[in-house]
Amino acid sequence: MRVGLLSYPMLFQREGGLQVQLRATLDALVQAGVQAELVDPHRHRLDEYDVIHVFSAINGNYRIVETAAEMGVPVVLSALLPPAWDRSSGACARFADRLAGRLTAWNVQTSYAQTKRALQLAQRVIALGTAERTAIVAAFRTDPHKIRVLPNGVDRRFFEADSSLFFRHTGIGGPFVLMAGAISPYKNQLALAQALGSASINVVLAGCAQPQHRDYLRQLLDCPNVHWLGALAHDNPLLASAYAAAAALALPSQGEVFPLVVLEALAAGTPAVMTRASALQLPDSGFALRQLRADDMPAWRAALDGFINCPPERAAVSALVEQFTWRRVAQQLADCYAGLLAEVSENSPALPAERRAV
């Protein structure tokens, strides 16, 4: 079974959760014995593979799914859609798409329509949690029977993270709140930094600001309680150490799908406060994970202050995400690929033998 993984062309021109997810998934699949590789569309045809796994239903990726469908190649699609989508927003998006079409003689198509087409054409759709699954069905009218819920994993090194490197490298003393990830107004770091500044709580940023967000970064650095580590590669030991050193992680963004930074912080034994607009659900996690409205800064400050003054036991925090391993992800994906190929083979008896082989 040869599996090709790909997403939109400019994916690896920046770093973020999707890039980490794709690389980690690929590595885990290879370690599990699956013949998986990144597809280079300039050198490889999609029909050289038994299964195509597309990451993200947006950014024009519907064209990849369409092309694979035209070639008769089964597609698994990791949707990665915000769970804020619901029946009402889906209806509004369909109305806007019809309006745009009529106004332009159907020469303009909305991103909603493109996303919906990708979801319709894919034979399997991966949702990272039940909230995302609900959003995919309610807003995009996707057949629920082809959706599989499969969370992300966490690299084992975050469970073994040690704080000493961070303190030696930075010289920052005392408890602090870590905000890791891209720096932008959507991530909402400034509002929380200002709210924590009034309480004299230190904030450490780890992440990259795109050119259009440099002014936003400057506003953050004007806050006396804010320290910036710069853009840290995901495999930089300083990032794992920062997770372990922090009193808490904060992710106050307007919305997230299934944030890896929260899983990584919890793996390091650090509690987290994050946006409520997310697919992440951890049972019995209230002692170490709070999910709040992005605009309720008094609640954020109270939750973070609580974790700083009364930290939960680190081993218990790590245990919350012990089951989130990339090895488990790879095995479940391999089963998903094999099941899809078996289904295609059963429904298409004339398919060449080499395509049917699993």
Mean pLDDT by 10 residues, the chain (358 residues): 95 88 96 96 94 96 96 97 94 96 94 97 96 95 96 94 95 92 96 88 94 96 94 94 97 92 97 93 95 95 96 97 94 96 80 47
pLDDT of residue 197: 87
DSSP 280: -
Sign, Cα dihedral of 100, 106, 110, 112: positive
As its CATH architecture, domain 2-153+325-356 has 3-Layer(aba) Sandwich (3.40)
How far apart CA 278 and CA 313 sit, in angstroms, is 25
Q: Do domains 2-153+325-356 and 156-319 have the same CATH topology?
A: yes
Q: Tokens for 52?
A: 């195509």
How far apart CA 318 and CA 323 sit, in angstroms, is 10
Per-residue burial over 186-214, b = 16 or more CB atoms within 10 Å of its CB, e = otherwise: ebbbbebbbbbeeeebbbbbbbbbeeebe
pLDDT of residue 352: 53
pLDDT of residue 349: 61
pLDDT of residue 356: 43
DSSP 76: E
pLDDT of residue 351: 47
Give the CATH fold of the 156-319 domain.
Rossmann fold (3.40.50)
pLDDT of residue 340: 96
How far apart CA 89 and CA 136 sit, in angstroms, is 12
DSSP 47: G
pLDDT of residue 350: 54
pLDDT of residue 354: 52
Q: Tokens for 17?
A: 């959760």
Domain map of the chain by residue range? 2-153+325-356, 156-319
